[in-house]
Amino acid sequence: MLEIAVLCVLGVVSFVLHTVATRAEATADSTSNASFLQLQRKFFLVYFLATFADWLQGPYVYKLYSHYGYSEDQIAVLYVAGFASSVTFGTLVGALADLFGRRRLCVVYGVLYSACCLTKLTRNYQVLLAGRVLGGISTSILFSTFEAWYVHQHVEKCFFDVAWTSRTFSKATFYNGLLAILAGVVSNLAAEWLGLGPLSPFLLAVPCLALASVLARSTWQENSLKPARGPGVCRALRVIFAGGDASLLLLGAVQSLLESVMYVFVFLWTPVLEPVRPPLGIVFSCFMVCIMVGSSLYSLLLARGWRADQLLTASLALAFVALAASALASARAHARACFAAFLLFEVAVGAYYPAITYLRSEVVPEELRAGIISWFRVPMNLLTCASLLWLRQGHGAVGSSHVAFSACACFLLLASALSRYFSVLFRGKTQAARQAPGALEAL
């Protein structure tokens, strides 16, 4: 079977690249610093439990709603509710994290996401809708507050070189790929063996979330931040648009464009490949291994002298090529060619994540970090909601896939141009911004 052969080849490539990248990094000071490695382990233990619980649920969200008898349109509304929740409450979550403590919000993540999982015990549509709202809030915490906690501990508490954060987030991306593959296997076995069908992975996620909260509460220090002057939500938005440094706004625009495309891709790939009836679990595993390949390439090139801003632009350009090829292939109904292009796109995503995370650690002001990162996710969620509604309201994912991929390619072309401009500003202004903390206080 083609997909299994591709998975095996990608697995070998990923292993080789990871080994080469690890050896290339072996001379770095960070790899021999015991305190840094200890901080990494403390962060990864909680973070990987939190992401593993999220990965467990991914393959069975749509299937559970379908199992309960809801139509495609009703399921689409449930999905939109989750993204709308992230838009509505995401910025508030960031402000609360900056004001009351990042560790405390990471503990709350486990509680809220567990409640979201438990709502799946009922077939009641309103309860499921409420669960999606809780899930949207939880996702906002996962993708903003955990990162904010780590960066603060790394830079402000332990006084490590900020460049070392790039190594941490590259490892996080690589091992998240492994966890995603493992989660797919575990969730599949749970759905088949526990006798609860597609409900099983959600119940299995609850103890992982509970353990993540307990470990965060017992092993992490709380971030001590200066009290914000004025409402944190509004202040974070003012810093983005009026902070005197366009690189912050550019980075947010790049993130919103790429990640909105990524979520649209999540909705499109299954129906596009359906004509050849591939084993979806194997295809998903191929995607995750490609993310690992991209992460290893990022680490290898970084060790060879590339800068993170250069690698961000390169990953966006690669993603553009991949989705432009997807548009051409889907227009001609060449599912196999689409599959190859999808693999290339996932490699680009694997290199993008450690690059964008490191660059955020450089340009986002510390005292408003979680709030600003949450604002970055607002346009992404809005674009995703609009795309999902467009695909579901009479257009259909399969018939309009080439149009959707073409639009996504245009977004990525714009993101690549903005990334190049950001790179110019980043090299010239980051050091000056780091030396002028008073500029933020004036706001």
Percent with pLDDT over 90 in the chain: 34
Whole-angstrom distance, CA of residue 34 vs CA of residue 138:
32
**Structural domains of the chain, with CATH:** 40-435 (1.20.1250.20)
* For range 83-97, the mean pLDDT: 78
Q: Is the pLDDT of residue 28 over 80?
A: no
* Predicted pLDDT at 429: 67
Q: Identify the H or E element spanning 363.
A: helix 335-363
414-424 residue pLDDT tens: 999 999 999 98
285-304 residue pLDDT tens: 888 889 999 999 998 998 88
Burial of 71 (0-12, 13-18, 19+ CB in 10 A): exposed
Distance of CA 142 to the CA centre of its chain: 9
Asked if residues 350 and 341 have their Cβ atoms less than 8 Å apart, the reply is: no
Distance of CA 237 to the CA centre of its chain: 21
Sign of the dihedral defined by the CA atoms of residues 24, 148, 139, 414, in that order: negative
Angle formed at CA 188 by CA 186 and CA 192, multiple of 5 degrees: 115
For 367, the token pair is 């005292």
| Poorest-pLDDT segment among 158-167, 286-295, 313-322 | 158-167
Whole-angstrom distance, CA of residue 296 vs CA of residue 273:
27
Phi/psi for 397 (5° steps) reads -65, -40
Higher pLDDT, 233 or 4: 4
* For range 346-368, the mean pLDDT: 87
Asked if residues 169 and 295 have their Cβ atoms less than 8 Å apart, the reply is: no
* Predicted pLDDT at 203: 94
Q: Is the pLDDT of residue 277 over 80?
A: no
Q: Name the 3-class secondary structure at 386.
A: helix
For 22, the token pair is 């690890």
* Predicted pLDDT at 53: 94
Asked if residues 6 and 290 have their Cβ atoms less than 8 Å apart, the reply is: no
Q: What's the N-to-C CA distance of the chain in angstroms? A: 60
Q: Between the ranges 128-137, 156-165, 358-367, where is the mean pLDDT highest?
A: 128-137
Angle formed at CA 271 by CA 268 and CA 276, multiple of 5 degrees: 130
Confidence of residue 311 (pLDDT cuts 50, 70, 90): very high
Burial of 364 (0-12, 13-18, 19+ CB in 10 A): buried
* Residue at token pair 């690669």: 318
